[in-house]
Amino acid sequence: MVDYHASNSQASSGGPAVYMDPREQENDWDRDLLLDPAWEKQQRKTFTAWCNSHLRKAGTQIENIEEDFRDGLKLMLLLEVISGERLPKPERGKMRVHKINNVNKALDYIASKGVKLVSIGAEEIVDGNAKMTLGMIWTIILRFAIQDISVEETSAKEGLLLWCQRKTAPYKNVNVQNFHISWKDGLAFNALIHRHRPELIDYDKLRKDDPLTNLNNAFEVAEKYLDIPKMMDAEDIVGTLRPDEKAIMTYVSCFYHAFSGAQKAETAANRICKVLAVNQENEHLMEDYEKLASDLLDWIRRTIPWLENRAPEKTMAEMQQKLEDFRGYRRVHKPPKVQEKCQLEINFNTLQTKLRLSNRPAFMPSEGRMVSDINGAWHNLEGAEKGYEEWMLNEIRRLERLDHLAEKFRQKATIHESWTDGKEAMLTQKDYETASLSEVRALLRKHEAFESDLAAHQDRVEQIAAIAQELNELDYYDSPSVNARCQKICEQWDALGSLTQSRRESLERTEKQLESIDELYLEYAKRAAPFNNWMEGAMEDLQDMFIVHNIEEIQGLITAHEQFKSTLPEANKEREAIQAIQAEVQKIAQYNGIKLSGGNPYTTITPKTIDNKWDKVEQLVPQRDQALQEELAKQQSNDHLRRKFATQANIVGPWIQTKMEEIGRISIEMNGTLEDQLVNLREYEQSIIEYKPNIDQLEGDHQLIQEALIFDNKYTAYTMEHLRVGWEQLLTTIARTINEIENQILTRDAKGISQEQLHEYRTSFNHFDKDHSGGLMAEEFKACLISLGYDVENNKTGDAEFARIMGIVDPNNSGVVTFQAFIDFMSRETTDTDTADQVIASFKILAADKNFIMAEELRRELPPDQAEYCIARMAPYSGPDAKPGALDYMSFSTALYGESDL
């Protein structure tokens, strides 16, 4: 046990001892203070003033500290005033026993507060023992004025000293190291007042070499403005080598309690400012998210109708311009939006992490602006994009086919119209009416040849009609003119058929009158007509337009052409045979002296015509050879483009897949600290970004392929669309992984989680994440919790606890617990956060215990922007004690933690 006096003092004085609170044992109290008359004088004045500062609240006071407490009445009254509690009813008798009983009641009450008094009894107090009375009062001061003072978990004396040091630290010539000589010059007292009430002290005018003036100034200001009675005389302090420590402590404690309200208000204001700053920052992040989400969704809504517009163009050039506009969209307009979408998801995850760390509700974006809504809209955009590109390519194929068919129609129609020119006039002439028999027979044979020629042209007419029909089916823009021309050809053809039949009938009626015919001419005519038709067909085929899409198709045309060339020798023999017939005619006529009048009466096909057409065929053959070889070179070039694209695509595609797998593996592995992982991931991200030129090269190759109108590639399974999506997913995935690590660092630092704890959490999580998906199913998560010591076994208590935890980590009942939700839960279980009740308590301090707060009080205690923030959002107070202008801080504090739209 520790005595009130040191053992040597007790031996020398024979006086009783006082047992001090164990929390004060560490302080080096000087037990001989009462032996020094100067110190005893200071204690008498200080303790008396301290007692009177409380007794005056009960309308009384003491004059002599050892005399006025002897009957125990004022002693009991003092304890009731300073504790706010009622003591047992005192005895009013004047006898010594009554006084002893009253003092014992006071001492018993002191003992009930955890203070043990040793070697001090009621008799010493009743007898007026000054030393014991001062010791008892000091014990009361320690218990009720000093003991509860604690700064940073220090003991009472150290806490009070630390408070003084902090408050006076900015002041020159002040260095508080103790409760005696550090206060002799009076500057420390003045500094304490100036720190809290600067308008009361002109500190700059004080001089260290004038302690009397300094002390008197502080004591007078404290008594006049702070309601702290003067407890010591300046002369006693200055005139003593070392002022009494207990007296100084008692006096300083009064200053502490006078300013403690301001201290509490400052602490409360700091807490509120912190909470409001967090809320303001979160609101700003929410507004940024809403704007970015709205802008992105607006862009998608504007873009999709453009991509869904399937209005076809009439010409190939117009469709090519559409395709070029689409390439510009892919190359210029879309990539920034991909980055915006990725950044939006990162901002959303970061905001949710900050809200969890500040114990705020999760952010729920406005309707239609959820991340899932944006992903859905983006999916629709990519679907429209894919459909638009496929439609354009099909349209280009259709227009290419239409241009080819239209030109083919014009060529065949022109050839046919050239052949039919004058045929109606020929079929309607009446030349046979005045002709001889031989001439009639000649006319008949000529007509037979014409019929053969007409039949030979039937295929061409059918081809012309078939092409026109196909142009109509493919919605050719100039179909009306094609139809009109085709209709005219068909009507003319029908007319020729009718006229041909009529002329044959007329010739046959006259044939009986005609008996001679030149068989040789007839044979010539019969053989020349099909040969002439063959040559015309050959010339038409040699000039026929063609369209191919690959090497195999052009090689098929080359093979067919080679087969045609192989028939030319046999055709030439037929030509020579026909020409030999004409030569034989001339020979016979010359031999028989026959004078031929005009040409062959059975045909208009002369030997010169046959030779000219044969020459034309021979000219067209090498031209066709050249055209086919040029197309072969083009298809070989296209095949080179296919191979070039495929070679690069077959490298880029697996590279992207490999990187995606590596990122997935990195996200579940634990190599080094989070900062190390973040550095490694950012280096990894940079290596991916540096791969971008390969993607750009591939885009360039793909554009060359599209410009060449190449629509297939048998050398690779990768399309540019697949590779674009893969590349965008790769960039998004590495950015999300980096963001997850940043959020883990944010959580760790905010919650004070050690690297070892985080490592333990990650190890446990990965152990049960068997499929490396980055999430735990409910049963996997339960096993993880059990491994960490949580009692969630399958029983009534364990099931209830597990249900509670799942409600925290999986509020949307998705059935999957992410690692971020897991560490949020673990940090919440092991750390403290500010709550609505704490904020309400802080506001209550600022409001001086009222149930409402006034605007001027907020402006006085808080920074201007945060004060106005509160005023604008607090509802008027409507309680029974309401007054004009009163604000409801309780509902406001609750809303900070319960409403996501605040």
Same domain, 595 and 720: yes
Residue 654: which H helix or E strand, with range? helix 607-668
- For 167-185, letters b (16+ CB in 10 Å) and e give bbeebeebebeebbebbbb
In this prediction, residue 18 has a pLDDT band, given cuts at 50, 70 and 90, of very low
Q: Any idea which of 131-135, 146-150, 182-186, 673-677 has the lowest mean pLDDT?
A: 146-150
Is residue 27's pLDDT more than 50? no
Task: Average the pLDDT over 674-695 and give the result.
Answer: 89
My answer on whether 490 and 562 are in the same domain is: no
**Higher pLDDT residue, 326 or 874?**
874
Asked if 175 and 195 touch (Cβ cutoff 8 Å), the reply is no
Residue 800's domain is classified under what CATH number?
Answer: 1.10.238.10
- Quick check: helix, strand or coil at residue 538? helix
pLDDT (average), residues 732-760? 80
Of 215, 232, 262, the residue at which a domain comes to its end is 262
Check residue 31 and give its pLDDT.
40
What is the pLDDT at residue 329? 86
Specify whether the CB–CB gap between 558 and 632 falls below 8 A: yes
What pLDDT is attached to residue 277? 83
Q: Is the pLDDT of residue 142 over 90?
A: no
Average pLDDT estimate for 191-203: 92
Nearest Cα to Cα of residue 370 among 314, 261, 297: 297
- pLDDT value, residue 520: 73
Query: For residue 277, what are the CA distances in angstroms to 269, 270, 271, 865, 889?
Result: 12, 10, 10, 10, 17
Residues 327 and 228 both lie in one domain: no
pLDDT band at 153 (very low <50, low <70, confident <90, very high): low
- Give yes or no for residue 21 having a pLDDT over 50: no
| 564 and 633, same domain (yes or no) | yes
Do 239 and 221 share a domain, yes or no?
A: yes
pLDDT beyond 80 at 776 = yes
Please give the sequence-ordered ranges of beta strands (E in DSSP) within 245-331, or none if there are none. none
Most confident among 533-537, 580-584, 784-788 (mean pLDDT): 533-537
Residue 407 — very low, low, confident or very high, per pLDDT cuts 50/70/90?
confident
- Please, is 97 exposed, middle or buried when counting C-beta atoms within 10 Å of its C-beta (0-12, 13-18, 19+)? exposed
CA angle 125, 128, 129 (to 5 degrees): 80
Do 188 and 225 lie in one domain? The reply is: yes
Output the pLDDT for position 209: 93
* Its pTM surpasses 0.85: no
Asked if pLDDT for residue 400 goes beyond 60, the answer is: yes
Q: How many domains is the chain built from?
A: 6
Residue 33 confidence (pLDDT) above 80? no
Q: What is the pLDDT of residue 450?
A: 83
Contact (Cβ atoms closer than 8 angstroms) between residue 194 and residue 65: no
Segment among 127-136, 507-516, 718-727 with least mean pLDDT = 507-516
- Ranking 222-231, 571-580, 813-822, 846-855 by mean pLDDT, the lowest is 813-822
Ranking 29-43, 59-73, 731-745, 773-787 by mean pLDDT, the lowest is: 29-43
Please state the rounded mean pLDDT for residues 84-104. Answer: 90
Give the per-residue pLDDT at 190: 96
> What is the rounded average pLDDT of the residues 272-297?
87
Q: Give the pLDDT of residue 599.
A: 72
511 confidence band (pLDDT: 50, 70, 90): low
Q: Kindly state whether residue 25 falls inside one of the protein's structural domains.
A: no
Average of pLDDT values for 426-452?
77
Same domain, 767 and 733: no
Indicate the pLDDT class of residue 432, thresholds 50, 70 and 90.
low
Structural domain contains residue 821: yes
Structural domain includes residue 616:
yes
Please give the share of the chain, as a percent, with pLDDT higher than 70: 90
Same domain, 153 and 119: yes
Q: Which of 471-475, 483-487, 593-597 has the lowest mean pLDDT?
A: 593-597
Q: State the amino acid at position 517 in one-letter form.
A: I
In angstroms, the CA 605 to CA 608 distance is: 8
Which of the four pLDDT bands, split at 50, 70 and 90, describes residue 871? very high
Contact 474, 401 (CB under 8 A): yes
In a domain, 709, yes or no: yes
Are 139 and 250 in contact by the 8 Å Cβ rule? The answer is no
Query: Do 68 and 185 belong to one domain?
Result: yes
Query: Of 244, 173, 247, 237, which Cα lies nearest the Cα of 205?
Result: 173
* Residue 15 within a domain: no
**Eight-class DSSP state of 332:** I
In 3D, which of 793, 768, 794 has the Cα closest to residue 781?
Answer: 768
521-566, pLDDT tens digit by residue? 778 888 888 989 998 888 888 888 878 778 888 889 899 888 988 9
Lowest mean pLDDT: which of 12-21, 375-384, 476-485, 764-773?
A: 12-21
| pLDDT for the residue numbered 597 | 61
Say if 343 falls within a structural domain: yes
- Nearest by Cα to 238 from 214, 202, 219: 214
Do 557 and 484 have their domain in common? Answer: no
| 817 domain-assigned | yes
In sequence order, what E strands does 826-884 have?
853-854
**Confidence (pLDDT) at 553:** 81
Q: Mean pLDDT, to the nearest integer, of 242-262?
A: 87
CB-based contacts of 738: which residues, under 8 Å, 6+ apart? 678, 681, 682, 685
pLDDT over 50 (residue 235) = yes
- The answer to whether residues 830 and 751 touch, using CB atoms and an 8 Å cutoff, is yes
- If residue 887 lies in a helix (H) or strand (E), which one and from where to where? strand 886-887
For residue 174, CA distances in Å to 169, 201, 208, 209 come to 7, 15, 9, 13
Give me the CATH number covering residue 523.
Answer: 1.20.58.60
Band (34; pLDDT cuts 50, 70, 90): very low
Tens of pLDDT, residue by residue over 635-648, are: 888 889 889 989 99
Mean pLDDT in residue range 707-724: 86
**What value does the mean pLDDT of the chain take?**
83
- Write down the pLDDT at residue 112: 87
- The pLDDT value given to residue 419: 86
pLDDT band at 433 (very low <50, low <70, confident <90, very high): low
pLDDT value at 510 more than 70: no
**Is it the case that residue 496 has pLDDT exceeding 90?**
no
The mean per-residue pLDDT over the stretch 419-423 comes to: 84
Within this chain, do residues 720 and 859 fall inside the same structural domain, yes or no? no
- Per residue in 352-369, pLDDT (tens digit) is 888 888 888 888 998 988
Q: Are 320 and 396 in contact (CB under 8 A)?
A: yes
pLDDT at 28 > cutoff 60? no
The CA-atom distances, in angstroms, between 488 and each of 427, 482, 483, 879 are 18, 10, 8, 98
CB atoms near residue 685 (< 10 Å)? 17
Residue predicted with more confidence, 319 or 633: 633
Q: Are residues 501 and 541 in the same domain?
A: no
SS3 311: coil
What's the confidence (pLDDT) of residue 833? 57
| Mean pLDDT, residues 35-55 | 86
pLDDT class of 507 with cuts at 50, 70, 90? confident
Residue where a domain terminates, one of 512, 538, 565: 512
Q: Which domain holds residue 242?
A: 38-262
Q: Supply the pLDDT for residue 900.
A: 37
- Residue that terminates a domain, selected from 692, 708, 742: 742
pLDDT winner (highest mean) among 2-6, 270-274, 801-805 = 801-805
> What per-residue confidence (pLDDT) applies to 11?
29
CB proximity list for 537: less than 8 A, separation 6 or greater: none
Maximum Cα–Cα distance across the chain: 192
Q: How confident is the model at residue 299 (pLDDT cuts 50, 70, 90)?
A: very high
- With respect to residue 415, please indicate whether it lies within any of the assigned structural domains: no
